[in-house]
Amino acid sequence: MKIGIIGASGYGGLELIRLLHNHPEVQRIVLFTSSEEGKVFSHKYTHLLNIYDQRLQKIEPSQLSEFDCVFSSAPAGVASQLIPPLLGKGTKFIDLSGDFRLVDSEVYKKWYKKEPPEQSAIEQSVYGLTEWNEEKIRNAQLIANPGCYPTAVLLALLPLLKANLIHSNQLIIDAKSGISGAGNQPNKMTHFSETNENTAIYKIHQHQHIPEIEQMIGTFTNGRSPITFNTHLVPMTRGILATSYAAVCDGFTEDDLVSCLKETYAMHPFVRIITETDKFGTNQVYGSNYCDIHVKVDPRTNRATIVSIIDNLVKGAAGQAIQNMNVQFDLAQTTGLTHVPSFI
């Protein structure tokens, strides 16, 4: 396979590069840039010396059709313009931004404050939450790879909502993320001295992943119940832990919820249900494509605490993108993604 990567310099791009390097079916990777044409990539990122010594290429839309698969990890607003004209020419596209995730253009405009892509491209795109869309992904030309937070949240909640074990109308989701989710642009949000030794909430009720979660939840509930969803930055580089709170439907117990999750994901290698644990944290999946889920029901309140963890750069971005590529090309989902979590 011949792979192109747009936006290679960002963290999503770097992680794609790291993971694809050892993918057994990938023969060639070409890196595209909008601003650093001709630069030797390992001069920019010396950790890639002897590994990616190629030069960054200018994006020539006409040449992208030579590739089997093109990943775009450019910021929101780039792929929406670049990709639609290239559809239908045989190349499969996987976009890691939010540009093609929302089916309703008005919702995109409201939350992203950018012009949406053309409607026909949105209609051709498939939401790439692999475990829930495998058949559509298999035939998709354009995959809208899910956001990091929605991946963690949806994998945990969808089975329970679909089985009517929890109520959809009182969902409260409190997510915590490492700083790499904020990307590679230095700014106040990512400045070490104001980020270290600091746990902070940001974008209260305003995060652009809210409509993405609600859209997917809405497919299993009547209409869309608005969720409460907040995000926090914690002083670590990688990892997302999402703590979701839901009222349990009458008559169901913790065992029912655990069983539902286990059955749902029995055949899915990257989702694990952890039952016995004193301390459930993001190091459990560090560097791997796993999403681990842990659920407890409090008999005092009949509410469930549903905790899910991912590595935001792997299952929350590049890893899931490759998992989707594997599905598109009829490879085992785990191809090139068999990393054991590093834990330490």
> Which of positions 142-171 make contact with its own copies (CB under 8 A)?
170
58, 204, 253, 332: which one binds its own copies (CB under 8 A): 204
Tokens of 27: 């023969």
Q: Terminus-to-terminus CA distance in the chain, angstroms?
A: 33
129 contacts its own copies (rule: CB under 8 A): no
Is position 172 an interface residue for its own copies (rule: CB under 8 A)?
A: yes
Q: Which of 38, 62, 106, 187 binds its own copies (CB under 8 A)?
A: 187
CA angle, 49 as apex, 51 and 82 as ends, to 5°?
A: 65
Would you say 37 or 298 has its CB closer to its own copies? 298
Q: Is 174 in the site for its own copies (CB under 8 A)?
A: yes
Identify the bridge partners of residue 177 per DSSP, sorted by sequence position.
Answer: 233, 240
291 is catalytic: no
Compute the least distance from the CB of residue 65 to its own copies, in Å: 28
Asked if 281 interacts with its own copies (CB under 8 A), we say yes
Per CB under 8 A, 43 contacts its own copies: yes
Size of the site for its own copies (CB under 8 A): 90
- Of the candidate spans 82-90, 140-148, 150-158, 301-309, the one that interacts with its own copies by CB under 8 A turns out to be 301-309
Among 33, 168, 284, 326, binds its own copies (CB under 8 A): 284
Q: Which CB sits closer to its own copies, 63 or 170?
A: 170
Considering only residues 302 to 321 of the shown chain, the ones binding its own copies according to CB under 8 A are 303, 305, 307, 313
Q: Which residues pair with 173 in a beta bridge?
A: 229, 244
CB 34 → its own copies: shortest distance, Å? 19
Residue choice 192, 223, 250, 266 for contact with its own copies (CB under 8 A): 192
Please report how close the Cβ of residue 15 comes to its own copies at its closest, in angstroms: 8
Output the smallest distance, CB 305 to its own copies, in A: 5
Please name the helix (run of DSSP H) or strand (run of DSSP E) that holds residue 254, with its range, or none. helix 254-264
Least distance (Å) between residue 179 CB and its own copies? 4
Query: How far apart are the C-alpha atoms of 78 and 61, rounded to whole Å?
Result: 13
Does 230 bind its own copies (CB under 8 A)? Our answer is yes
DSSP secondary structure string for all residues of 123-154: HHEEE--HHHHHHHHHT-SEEEPPPHHHHHHH
- For the chain, the maximum distance between any two Cα atoms, rounded to a whole number of angstroms, is 64
Out of 63, 119, 164, 199, point to the residue binding its own copies (CB under 8 A): 199
Q: Which stretch binds its own copies (CB under 8 A): 129-137, 148-156, 300-308, 315-323?
A: 300-308
Judged by CB under 8 A, the stretch of 28-36, 106-114, 152-160, 190-198 that binds its own copies is: 190-198
207 in helix, strand or coil? coil
Q: Which residues contact 98 (CB under 8 A, 6 or more apart)?
A: 76, 108, 112, 144, 147, 208, 209, 212
The closest of 189, 232, 188 to 207, measured between CA atoms, is 232
Looking at residue 300, the DSSP 8-state letter turns out to be T
Query: What is the rounded radius of gyration, in angstroms, for the C-alpha atoms of the chain?
Result: 20
- Between 14 and 79, CB nearer to its own copies: 14
Strands 303-310 and 291-298: antiparallel
If one asks whether residue 259 binds its own copies (CB under 8 A), the answer comes out as no
**CA-to-CA dists, residue 312 to 40, 142, 157, 205, 240, angstroms:** 27, 22, 18, 20, 6
Beta carbon nearer to its own copies, 188 or 223? 188
Residue type, 45: Y
Instruction: Decide: is 111 part of the binding site for its own copies (CB under 8 A).
Output: no
Residues serving a catalytic function are 148
